[in-house]
Amino acid sequence: MENKARLIIGEKEIGLPIIEGTEGDKAIDIRALRSQTGYITYDPGLANTGVCKSSITYMDGEKGILRYRGIPIEELAENSTFVETSYLLINGRLPTQRELNAFSVMLNDHSLVHEDMRHFFENFPRRAHPMGILSSMVNALRFFYPELPDEEDEINITFARLLSKVRTMAAMSYKISRGHKVVYPRHDLSYPANFLNMMFDSPVKPYIIDQDNVKALNVFWILHADHEQNCSTAAVRLVGSARVNLYAAISAGICALWGPLHGGANQRVVEQLQEIYRQNLSPKSLVEKVKREKNFRLMGFGHRVYKTLDPRAKIMKEMAHKLVSKLPERDPLLDIAMELEDIAINDPYFRERKLYPNVDFYSGIVLRALGIPLNMFTVMFAIGRLPGWISQWKEDRDDPESRLYRPRQIYVGENLRHYVPIRERGS
């Protein structure tokens, strides 16, 4: 039974193959478990279940390591752009200059949104959350742009459409929600500069593009670009496994990301910090509340995989400092966040549970410094996560071992009982 895990159930012993990843991750292949023993595994939240083999992102939660296609996140944040990192994730390697130029041209060529889609935007209630609007609009893209053909070139156009149009739609939804004139994308601007311009340019006050802000937005999106099998990516793979079109799978990912335990945490972090500021509370009182109230959580803290500082949080914190130092007035939320972090990481409750700041803890301060409104924070995360979702969807589509997602359950309900006519059920 070499390279096999031995499982003994009662009198029966079986061998289950061991799989090893390129970085030494080990897994027990249980695909034959039910057919050989009648047993299934029980793993709520899939915390110990590998649902695929993937060569996109590597994470080590104990050491705080994150790499895209083998390249450390720190190196990408320092040297790359979001467009280049998107190419890396989708294609598996860094582009040559010629490939990068062609990819950028393709993104520019597909940046406009069909004019008829504007009617959709204009008819959402004014207070509709931009994440709800975005997921609906991405799903609606399918009606305006044709079904994915199988040829690789055509598929790449669909990827470019998504990457480019989602950014345009995000800025459009902001402008329309404010009752302002929509600003169209420009060919002469880079991906992040275009976004900032579409968000903030106005006929009465032209927007002056600040290169530090462009760099910051590049880094912000690079940090969010992929994170292996997180909740929204798993949603994209699960929905995609039914072989729906890409737009529908990404729309499902956006819905999952919206949740406060996932990407929606970036908005909640700032709301918590604002509450401390407005009510003049001490950060310590929030930490005490977390310990007192079982269901109350410190947003931006804790992670399913990281049991140490999230490497993205470290970069985000440095960036928050840089951007805040350029503002005409210091953002008081940064000081509150730092005090809160300091108290929490030294508190036994957080230490024992290995709860450290995650990417969302400082990302809101970065977004505030860039002038992004609070209800758009999770949309910013969604734009960043697009290349990850696309590459994971593509990997699943091309994986010969991929199957329709169909988990099992352990039924704990009523045993057989029979239908009782309503007149016999009593009052």
Question: How far is Cα of residue 407 from the mean position of the Cα atoms in its chain?
Answer: 23
CB of 313 to ligand CMC, least distance (A): 9
Determine the Cα–Cα distance for residues 3 and 20; give it in Å rounded to an integer: 10
- For residue 130, state whether it binds ligand CMC (rule: CB under 6 A): no
Determine the Cα–Cα distance for residues 354 and 49; give it in Å rounded to an integer: 21
Cβ closest to ligand CMC, residue 256 vs residue 324: 256
The answer to whether residues 315 and 73 touch, using CB atoms and an 8 Å cutoff, is yes
Residue nearest to ligand CMC (CB): 302
Tokens of 196: 């900032």
- Which active-site residues does the annotation give? 303, 360
Cβ closest to ligand CMC, residue 218 vs residue 272: 272
Residue window 262-291: x/- pattern of binding to ligand CMC, with contact defined by CB under 6 A? xx-x------------------------x-
CB of 67 to ligand CMC, least distance (A): 16
**In 201-264, which ranges are continuous DSSP H helix?**
211-224, 231-240, 246-258
- For residue 388, state whether it binds ligand CMC (rule: CB under 6 A): no
Determine the Cα–Cα distance for residues 342 and 306; give it in Å rounded to an integer: 18
CB of 357 to ligand CMC, least distance (A): 9
Residues of span 210-229 touching ligand CMC by CB under 6 A: 227
211-224 vs 377-398: helix crossing angle, rounded to 10: 50
CB of 272 to ligand CMC, least distance (A): 10
CB of 97 to ligand CMC, least distance (A): 33
- For residue 302, state whether it binds ligand CMC (rule: CB under 6 A): yes
Tokens of 121: 């935007």
Determine the Cα–Cα distance for residues 393 and 239; give it in Å rounded to an integer: 9
Judged by CB under 6 A, the residue of 142, 215, 304, 322 near ligand CMC is 304
CA angle 296, 297, 299 (to 5 degrees): 140
- For residue 105, state whether it binds ligand CMC (rule: CB under 6 A): no
Q: Which stretch binds ligand CMC (CB under 6 A): 9-17, 300-308, 368-376, 418-426?
A: 300-308
Cβ closest to ligand CMC, residue 168 vs residue 230: 230
Distances from the Cα of 210 to the Cα of 162, 207, 213, 262, 270, angstroms: 26, 9, 5, 30, 24
Cβ closest to ligand CMC, residue 47 vs residue 420: 47
CB of 197 to ligand CMC, least distance (A): 28
Size of the site for ligand CMC (CB under 6 A): 21
The answer to whether residues 295 and 301 touch, using CB atoms and an 8 Å cutoff, is no
Q: Which stretch binds ligand CMC (CB under 6 A): 76-84, 139-147, 257-265, 413-421?
A: 257-265
- For residue 230, state whether it binds ligand CMC (rule: CB under 6 A): yes
Q: Which stretch binds ligand CMC (CB under 6 A): 5-13, 33-41, 194-202, 260-268?
A: 260-268
Residue window 24-63: x/- pattern of binding to ligand CMC, with contact defined by CB under 6 A? ---------------------x------------------
DSSP type of residue 423: G
- For residue 172, state whether it binds ligand CMC (rule: CB under 6 A): no
- For residue 359, state whether it binds ligand CMC (rule: CB under 6 A): yes
Tokens of 21: 């990843």
Partners of residue 27 on adjacent β-strands? 19
The answer to whether residues 248 and 305 touch, using CB atoms and an 8 Å cutoff, is no
The answer to whether residues 4 and 16 touch, using CB atoms and an 8 Å cutoff, is yes
Q: Which stretch binds ligand CMC (CB under 6 A): 28-36, 333-341, 350-358, 370-378?
A: 350-358
Partners of residue 60 on adjacent β-strands? 65
Cβ closest to ligand CMC, residue 292 vs residue 406: 292
Question: How far is Cα of residue 221 from the mean position of the Cα atoms in its chain?
Answer: 10
- For residue 261, state whether it binds ligand CMC (rule: CB under 6 A): yes
Report strand pairing: 65-68 vs 57-60: antiparallel
CB of 203 to ligand CMC, least distance (A): 37
- Residue 284: partners with Cβ closer than 8 Å, 6 or more residues away: 343
Cβ closest to ligand CMC, residue 100 vs residue 305: 305
Distances from the Cα of 29 to the Cα of 52, 53, 54, 237, 408, angstroms: 11, 11, 15, 20, 16
- For residue 353, state whether it binds ligand CMC (rule: CB under 6 A): yes
Site residues, ligand CMC (CB under 6 A) = 45, 227, 230, 261-263, 265, 290, 297-304, 353, 355, 358-360
